Structure 1
Amino acid sequence: MAEAALKPQRGNGLFRTIALAGALALGACSSIIPRGAPETAPPPQQPTRPVETTEPQVSQGIPQDEQRHRVALLVPTSGNNAGVGQSIANATQMALLDTKSERVRITTYDTATGAADAARRAIADGNGLILGPLLSEDVRAVAPIAAAAHVPVLSFSNDTSVAGNGAFILGYTPAQSIERVVSFAAQNGMTQFAALVPSGLYGERASDALLRAVRRQNGDVVSIQTYDRSRASIDAAVKRIPETSPYQAILIADSAGTAAVAVPTIRATTGASAKVLGTELWNTDSAVADNKVLNGAWFASVPDGLYRQYAEKYRARFGKAPYRLSTIGYDVVLLTVRIARDWKVGQRFPMNDLMSDDGFAGLDGAFRFDNSGVAQRALEVQAIRNGQTVTVSVAPKSFE
């Protein structure tokens, strides 16, 4: 585990920079004989008993902090997902520095060696809140351990099935992004929708979300086709869309790279003029705008206005670009610091404060938790135009 109990340092950046002045001075006093004083013989030495010394008591574990709240960050810092885990950890450090918080102490625990063990260590060390983990299977392992200790879990997963019983989900969920982009398409006169979705759980959830979203807009889903992510399977899925079922928009519920494979076949068949729609996965792809075949496509995303400045500051501090998902780590620290103002040290985390109707604000815009523990996000719609992404429908600043 790695400590992130940070003392602010002076620096420049997007947010308020930190200047913390504090020094402890140790002075030594010496006795001085006044000039001109008569010399006297030193007094005879008296026998002394040896001074008994007591060895300091050292307790196991991390030293407890009586002034700050102990908060655990559970992310992979080794293994296949170490890159994104370390990027999230770096973001939490930046947030502590930028907020000048002296009420929160964050300790990082590596989930790659076992999420359940990491949670047990975190709770044994006295942490009253868990940030993370990243993967849904790790949330399933951590949540019951944390619940038994009355410690909330603010996970970075986007799997809504693991929310509840003290576990909250902060990840970008497909249902919300599909609802947002379908709503925008309907506002622009589109009523007939088709979809390509991958086989598996994500595709099933994307299909359900599309059906609900289109139904709300009084539109029709003319065809949903699945594929196994091979080029041949994607082409075959596109060609299975009936020629007798014209559509004005087609959702490709996958990465931007997969969408780029499908679009040429779409244009050559029944979707020559259809608007291509993407999901939240597109926003995690830094090269999304480089796919020329996606020019004109729309996708819903958390706001990007502050991300670019954050990325510049991150690169200056850590010498590399951040993972797009790392902003969740930054924003969850902003949330923690806000609640910590009224969270008394030594008491349980005030879980009810997470359910604020007003929600919270961060780099990724406004969000709040619904009754199931899933973060509802204020999303914008972006379009790909000539190698760039541009906002075509801004995100609301708050919740009504």
Structure 2
Amino acid sequence: MADGLATPQPAKRSMTRRAAGLMVAMLLAGCSTVVPKGPQQTPPPPPKQTGSQTGRLPEDQRDRVAVLVPLSGAEAGIGQSIANAANMALIDSGGQGVRLTMYDTSTGAALAAQKALAEGNKLILGPLLSDDVRAVAPIAAAQHVPVLAFSNDVTVAGNGVYLLGFTPTESVDRVISYAKERGLSRLAALVPNGVYGRRASNAMLRAAEGAGATVVSMQSYDRSPASLATAIKRLGDPKGYDALLIADSGRIALVAAPLVRKSGSSAKLLGTELWNTEPQLAASKLMSGAWFAAVSDGLYSQFAAKYRSRFGKGPYRLSSLGYDSVLLAVRISADWKAGTDFPQGRLSDKGGFSGVDGAFRFDHDGIAERMLEVKQIGTGGVTVVSPAPQGFGDQ
């Protein structure tokens, strides 16, 4: 296990998303205390009193938060990156009102959760893998401890489990809506077999209906080149659709693009949040002009630079979830008396929260809703063609 310390900032419940985003930027820039300007409906609660000149609180005055991630085994790299980012958030937030403890899920997520709860933790951040979330959820629920999981599997959300992971639903909706606004109304899609593909398919149909577009063809494949080529042929008349969603990773998109063009289609290529982690897309001439929706990388770039400076190597993209979850815990900690149950009702704040990945809030199912921007791939890199709204009141 590894421990970290942080002091909560006083809660600013009516803080605007713009001000909250500025606060995150200043934290990443190295400022430890930030007082954002903005309207306040109620005064914030007083900060917790420190037990010494160093600012360290006595043990019984600190809110205990567990981070459950794989710290050994095959997923250790990403787990350690999330853990590092979580500790960064504690340091950057400038205080010591939260006691953060890391637990390794690679030796058993259920055992890690049991140990975390036995040691008095009242909030769990993680786990990463959906099977681990399923193992942890009933153990945490029995003690009324909420779980802020890093998974993107929406089937594990609810009953005290909140998902921070990026899901395809919103990115598909955002890019389809943008395409329809630009006059593209006849849509086709390539979706992989499996859970992600099913979610993307459902999202595509709902997004098209909501935008007033038509899905003329949707084909699935099993992620082999032969299966992908067959799926593209089954799309039908290459002139019958003017936009094609490739609901898969950037690596698959790079394989699909030449096959799509070879079929005679000139359709605009569309992608999901998975494309945000593939830097090679901009190197492909065939991907030039393609659109995809994802969280903004503006603050993430600052975060990644600071992470690299501190740890000597770059972070995994999902490490931002560790950073943002700790900022959330620190913000709520000002209203959370040490040793008592985490104030779970605060997670339903319709104003949401802000972090490295922008504004987010949890819907009634416990799934994170996020503000996404639309990006365009070009030969010189990726540019933003439709910025993310500043907050949920701007939609």
TM range (shorter): 0.7 to 0.9
CA drift of 1:292 comes to: 3.5
CA distance in 1, matches of 2:264, 2:362: 40
2:85 aligned with 1:91, yes or no?
yes
Structure number with the bigger relative contact order (C-alpha 8 A, sep ≥ 6) is 2
1:240 CA displacement: 1.2
1:77-130 residue CA offsets vs partner (Å, 9 max, x unmatched) = 111111111111111111111101311111000111110100000000000000
The answer to whether residue 275 in structure 2 is matched with residue 261 in structure 1 is: no
C-alpha distance in 1, partners of 2:28/2:337?
30
CA distance in 2, matches of 1:338, 1:264: 48
For 1:197, which of 187, 191, 201 is the aligned residue?
191
User: Do the aligned partners of residues 242 and 23 (structure 1) sit closer, same or farther apart at CA in structure 2, a change above 3 Å counting?
Assistant: closer
Q: Which residue in the other structure is 1:206 paired with?
A: 200
Match of 1:174 among 168, 174, 181: 168
Q: CA deviation at 1:295?
A: 1.3
1:346 shift after superposition? 1.5
Unaligned runs of 5+ in 1: 25-63
Classify 1:223/1:15 alpha carbon distance in 2 versus 1 (closer, same or farther; 3 Å): same
Equivalent residues in 2 for 1:103-252, closer than 5 Å: 103-243=97-237, 246-252=240-246
Per mean C-alpha deviation after superposition, the further-off stretch among 279-288 and 250-259 is 279-288
Equivalent in the alignment of 1:14: 28
* Displacement after TM superposition at 1:323 (Å): 0.7
- Structure with the higher fraction of residues in helix conformation: 2
Deviation at 1:14, TM superposition (A): 3.2
Farther off after superposition, 281-290 or 157-166: 281-290
Q: Which runs of 4+ in 1 moved over 4 A?
A: 18-24
Contact kept, 8 Å, 1:231 with 1:261, in 2: the verdict is: yes
Secondary structure of residue in 2 paired with 1:361: strand
Please, what is the CA RMSD of the aligned residues? 2.1
Q: Secondary structure at the match of 2:244?
A: strand
Q: Which shows bigger deviation, 236-245 or 252-261?
A: 236-245
Partner of 2:29: helix, strand, or coil? coil
Distance, in Å, in 2 between the alignment partners of 1:100 and 1:190 is 48
For the 8 Å contact 2:6–2:93, the answer to whether it is kept is no
Counterpart of 2:2 in structure 1 is: 2
User: For residues 2 and 287 of structure 1, what CA distance do their matches in structure 2 show?
Assistant: 36
TM-score under structure 2 length normalisation: 0.87
Deviation at 1:16, TM superposition (A): 3.2
Equivalent positions of 1:203-352 (< 5 A) are 203-243=197-237, 246-271=240-265, 273-352=266-345
Aligned residue identity for 2:28: L
Letter in 2 for 1:16: G
Of the two, which has the highest radius of gyration?
Answer: 1
Aligned partners of 2:392 and 2:113: how far apart in 1? Answer: 33
Q: 2:356 aligns with which of 352, 356, 363?
A: 363
**Equivalent residues of 1:295, 1:387 under 8 A apart:** no
TM-score, normalisation: structure 1: 0.86
Farther off after superposition, 92-101 or 116-125: 92-101
Any idea what SS the aligned residue of 1:221 has? strand
8 A Cα contact 2:192 2:221, kept in partner: yes
**How many Å separate the matches in 1 of 2:6 and 2:346?**
25
Residue 312 (structure 1) shift? 0.8
Q: Does 1:102 align with 2:96?
A: yes
Q: Distance in 2 between matches of 1:185 and 1:111?
A: 41
- Determine the C-alpha separation between the residues in 1 that align with 2:338 and 2:197: 44
Q: How many residues are treated as equivalent by the alignment? A: 357
Q: CA deviation at 1:310?
A: 1.0
- Structure 2: gaps (5+ residues): 8-25, 34-49
Distance 1:244 1:125 in 2: 60
Percent identity over the alignment is 56
Does the CA contact (< 8 Å) of 1:246 and 1:270 recur in 2?
no
Measured in 1, the distance between the counterparts of 2:27 and 2:64 equals: 27
Distance in 2 between the 1:283 and 1:244 partners?
27
Q: How far does residue 244 in structure 1 lie from its aligned partner after superposition?
A: 7.3
Distance 1:68 1:316 in 2: 29
